[in-house]
Each structure stands twice: as structure tokens, then as C-alpha cells.
Amino acid sequence: MAFGIPVKVPLVKDTISQEELLALSDWLRTFPRLTKGELTVEFEEKWSTWQGSKYSVFVNSGSSANLLMFYALLLSGRLKNKKVIVPAVSWVTTVAPAIQFGLEPIVCDCDPETLGLDTDHLSKLVEEHDPAAIILVHVLGFPNKMDEITAICNEREIVLLEDSCESLGSEYRAIKTGNFGLMSSFSLYFGHHLSTIEGGMICTDDADIKDLLVSLRSHGWDRDLPNAKQKELRAKYGIDDFRAFYTFYHPGFNVRSTDLQAFLGLGQLQKADSVVESRNRNFLHYDAAINDHQYKVRQREGTLVSNFCYPLITDRRDEVVNALTEAGVDSRPLVCGSIARHPFWYERYGHADLPFADIVHDNGMYIPNNHEMTDAEVEYVADVVNSVL
């Protein structure tokens, strides 16, 4: 099969450049502190500035970010009950913490226009269950319908969490995704927009939640908290400064990242805007070049899609996958399809009626997009897809 340029087109390319690795090597030769230290704090502060949030907490993965968000919410005392609405089209570690911490997850169908929460189904679930919290995913960088979702949350006093691991830099009405809920998570895994090899970030504008996240990140002690918060806790529980070294106020974790990862993150942040611009440009190029198919998810008015990978939803998926494989182009299922179709879910909760999530599960896939893709590569991939569609 010939489409003009015989190339291998991977899902991701090297997010961390050779120059960044050389800079890391030079830094390592200064024998710096490698575990969490001053560079982590600097990275968190600069991330907050770029993202537009008050506080950021650096952890060892986007999955750990989700874990900490749920646990901080549980310990904060802000849940009116144990019910939480989760998105059908998401990722296992978006949903798993709700199960692991004994909450009651309720699955919501997928919106054909955004791949996020279907707001009609969401409204019905809210009326039926009156949940305490909602977590959403901006799937592949497509912002959810945030006006409708935040209105529901405000009206019913529901806490909103955002999984923004695939949507770094996406915007809804000129506001970056990750700035609409109490907390938001980001992934800095190798294959994502920016990379610290492994890593994740949690953003919030709430100082109390930030302090709780910081404590939970490191065992539940107070070592990384502001001095005023340390004094408050020690006075409350009668802890002297010596005993405070190993006093634990919460049953925490160790999900810290390192200053090595923070060093990489500081370099990655310098190109964040150009990465977002490139991914959006490639998405729009794909949108113009690929034939219409069963469902074509587009950039809606008032949004900017910092696209993780380009989605295809077609009942000819197997043919498209075979053609792409033969042409040397990577592809994957559209994230996990429907969470409700996975054994960990249906063996606990049974099968759910989720019409569009089922379509995504059976017919959804995605094709490469990354900030180093060339116009020629986008055209090449589009030609392969169009040969089937």
C-alpha cells in the first residue's frame, strides 16, 4: 500500500529533547539534591503561573494525582454523601480511587460532541442520586460543556474534580481546562503533552486543600507545610519540634516526585505554549483532511483543543486499523472505550445502559498527534484513513 511517503508514524515522539537531556546531565554533575527539594517548589510555582491556578502540587504520576484528589476530598469533610459520578469514557485511575476509598461511583454516558460527560444523562443522574462529587475527563483534549456542568454543580452543591491529564492547555471560553473545579489533575508521563518521564500535578485555588494534598503526598506529616500551618497543628495536638519530625496527622502516602523530574519539568514548561499550538494546528489539519465518518468530534465554538491524539469513531474501525498498521502508523482504542465494559466495573456493578459510550467502545480509536508531527505526516496518515473511509 503506497500513500506517498513510506514512514513510521508513532503515537508519540521524544518529548524530552537531546538538549534537555544534556542540560540534565550537566546539572547531575554538580551533585545536586535529587529527591524533592527546592526545584520541586520552583516547578510548582511556575506551573501555577502558566496554568492560572493559585497552587500546584507535584506528584509521581497523573494516576497518583487522581488518587490524592479523591483522598483529600474524602478527608476534607466536604462530601455530603459517598456518591460520585464518574465518566464512562475515561481511564481506570480516574475511576479506581472512588472504588478504592469506599465511595459509590455512578457512571455517566459520553457526549458525542465532546467525548466528555453527557449533560442530559448527568442531569438525570444528579436528580436521581444527589451525588456529593463529580469527576470529569477532558478526553483527548476536548473541553467538556463547562457552563452546563458548573451550573449543575453550583445549584446542587456538588464538588467538581477535573481529570485534565489529556488536555494540557485546552481552553473553554479562554480559561484553561483544570481551572473549573475544586481540584484538577495533570499527567507528565512520557507520552503526554509535556514529560518529566513520570510525573503528575494537582492544581487548586483552595489553600486548605493544598495543605492537605501536600501532607498526604508525604506520609501525612507536616514537614512541607507553611510555618503557620505547622505551628497550628503542633499546638493543636501538643507536638514539640523534635517529635514533629515523625508525627503523622493523616494516614498518608509517599507519592512524591523528585527534583530530577522537576528539573526536566522546568525545561518542558518553557515550550508549553508551542506544544499546545502545534497539537491544535495538527488537529485542525486532520479535521480538514480526513473524510467525514460515523462521528467526527470537532473543536466547538469558544474552545481550543490541545489535542492528545486524533479520534476516529467508525464502524469500519478494524479496516482502518489494518490499513494503518500496514502503512506503519500507530493507533489505539479511543482511550478505554467504556469503563462499564471492563471486568473491574461490571463484576462489581453489573452492566450499564450507556448508548454512546458503547459506540465509542465498539467503534472508537485514535491516531497520532504530537507536537513534532509534520504537515506531511498528517497528510500521510489522513490519506491512509481516507483509503478506507
**Which of the 8 DSSP states describes residue 172?**
E
Q: What is the Cα–Cα distance from 117 to 112, expressed in whole angstroms?
A: 9
pLDDT value at position 7?
A: 65
Which regions in the chain score pLDDT beneath 50?
none
Which pTM was predicted? 0.96
**Catalytic residue status for 293:** no
Q: Is 83 helix (H, G, I), strand (E, B) or coil?
A: strand
In 3D space, the residue among 90, 93, 92 whose CA is nearest the CA of residue 116 turns out to be 90
Which among 121, 129, 138, 192 is annotated as catalytic?
192
Q: Residue 37: which residues within 8 A CB-CB, separation 6 or more?
A: 259
Q: Rounded to an integer, what distance in angstroms lies between the CA atom of residue 126 and that of residue 133?
A: 10
Contact 60, 255 (CB under 8 A): yes
> How many CB atoms are located within 10 Å of the residue 80 CB?
13
Among 287, 280, 282, which Cα is nearest to 312's?
287
The β-bridge partners of 256 are: 59
d(CA 164, CA 152): 20
- The domain ranges of the chain are 18-269, 272-388
Determine the Cα–Cα distance for residues 227 and 243; give it in Å rounded to an integer.
16
Tell me the three cell numbers of residue 344: 473491574
* Domain at 18-269: CATH code: 3.40.640.10
Other Cβ atoms closer than 10 A to 10:
14
* 376 alpha carbon, distance to own chain's centre: 29
Quickly count: other Cβ atoms within 10 Å of residue 237's Cβ.
Answer: 12
What CATH number matches the domain at 272-388, 3.40.50.300, 3.30.70.360, 3.90.1150.10, 3.40.720.10? 3.90.1150.10
Residue 12 pLDDT: 86
If we measure between CA atoms, which residue out of 316, 245, 304, 244 comes closest to residue 279? 304
Query: What pLDDT, on a 0 to 100 scale, did the predictor assign at position 5?
Result: 56
Using an 8 Å Cβ cutoff, are 352 and 33 in contact? Answer: no
Scan for cell 507536537, then name that residue.
371
Locate 208 and state its grid cell: 486548605
- Report the pLDDT value the prediction gives residue 270, as an integer from 0 to 100: 97
Residue 286 neighbours by CB under 8 Å, 6+ apart: 310, 367, 369, 378, 381, 382
